[in-house]
Structures are given as C-alpha cells and as structure tokens.
C-alpha cells in the first residue's frame, strides 16, 4: 500500500492566550484513525501537542472528543483522509491545553 498524506490544521493554545493554528503533514495507511495521526505527530514532530485519550481504539472511554471541521467527533473513530483536515478543541467546553478540554463531570474535578 502506498502511504497517503493528510494535512492536519490543529488549533492550539492555553486559556487566556490567543489561539494559533499549526499545520502538520501526516503520512498514513488507509484505515488509520485521526488519533493514530495525532499520536504520530507527538512521537515524530512535536511531543508538546496536548491531547486526551485513554482506550486508544475501542471507543470505550469516550475521552478523545474534539472537533473536526467544526463537528464534535471521537478522534479514535474518525479516519485520516488525504488533504486538509481542521482539528480544534471542543468549543462548548472550557479549554485546558491544545485539544484538551474540561470534560470531567463537575463533581469529579479537584478545583471548581
């Protein structure tokens, strides 16, 4: 199989600072998930990219929620595709860092 390339435009930042968009070219085999691509970016290009996930592939933990093209999705069940993909943190949750938002139930947070 020939590797294809996705261009991931990722909105990054921390609370209180202006957000920036960074673009990463991610090679992939057909079938790979968006989460595969984000993990590849961390291991290969930029380990500071912040994202939250737990079960990796089973869609059991529901922790890897983020926005793709403005829609809330699970990174583990979206496939990478050739061309541009726009990734951002959930808009309706408080930003923590890059793609991580505050998704814990209110009574399970340490501070609030």
Partner 1 sequence: MIRLESDVLVIGAGGAGIYAAIAAARDGCRVHLIDRSLIGRGGATVMAQMTVAVALGEQCPDHWEHHLADTLAAGRGLCDPALSQLLCENAPSRIREMDAWKVGWARENGHLKQVHAPGHDRARCVYVDFLNTGPAVSRTLRAQLNRIAAIRRIGDVLITDVVVHEGEAVGAVGLHLVSGEAVALQAKSVIIATGGLTRLYRRNSGSLNMGGDGYALALRAGAELIDMEFVQFFPIGHLAPRMIGMDPIMWDPFRYKLGGRLLNAKGEEFADRYGQAESGNYVLTRDVATYAIFKEVEAGRGSPAGGAYLSFAHVPEAELRKAFGPVIDRLAKNGIDLTKMPVEVAPIAHYHMGGVRVNAAMQTRVPNLYAAGEAVGGANGANRLSGNGITEAFVFGERAGSAAAAHAKARTASGWNDAAAARALESIGARGRADSAPNTAALLVELQALMSDKVGPFRTEGNLRAALERLRKMQQELGPFPAGGAHYDMVCLDWLDLRNMLLVAQCVVRAAIERKESRGAHQREDFPGMLPEWDLNQRLSWRDGELSLARAPAAPAPARVS
| Token pair belonging to 74 | 């699970």
Q: Please, are residues 76 and 96 in contact by the beta-carbon 8 Å criterion?
A: no
Q: How far is the CB of 100 from partner 1 (least distance, A)?
A: 5
| Nearest-angstrom CA–CA distance, 100 and 38 | 13
C-alpha dihedral sign at 51, 57, 63, 69: positive
Tell me the two tokens of residue 96: 């923590």
* Smallest separation (angstroms) from partner 1 to the CB of 107: 7
- Segment 63 to 82, residues that bind partner 1, using CB under 8 A: 63, 74, 76-77, 79
The CA distances from residue 39 to 16, 53, 91, in Å, are: 26, 10, 22
Q: Give the interface segment with partner 1, choosing from 4-12, 19-27, 82-90, 96-104 (CB under 8 A).
A: 96-104
The residues in 21-40 that bind partner 1, with binding defined as CB under 8 A, are 29-33, 39
List the one residue from 21, 25, 59, 72 that touches partner 1 (CB under 8 A). Answer: 59
Among 6, 26, 51, 85, binds partner 1 (CB under 8 A): 51
Token couple for 41: 């970016």
Q: Which residues bind partner 1 (CB under 8 A)?
A: 14-15, 29-33, 39, 42-44, 47-63, 74, 76-77, 79, 96-97, 100, 102-105, 107-111
């Amino acid at each position: 199989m020939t590797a294809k390339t996705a261009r991931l435009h990722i909105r990054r930042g921390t609370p209180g600072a202006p957000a920036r968009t960074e673009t990463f070219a991610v090679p992939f085999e057909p079938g790979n998930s968006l989460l595969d691509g984000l993990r590849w970016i961390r291991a290969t290009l930029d380990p500071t990219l912040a994202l939250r996930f737990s079960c990796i592939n089973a869609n059991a933990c529901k922790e890897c929620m983020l926005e793709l093209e403005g829609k809330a999705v699970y990174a583990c069940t979206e496939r990478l595709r050739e061309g541009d993909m726009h990734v951002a943190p959930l808009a309706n949750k408080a930003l923590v860092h890059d793609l991580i938002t505050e998704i814990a139930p209110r009574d399970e947070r340490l501070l609030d």
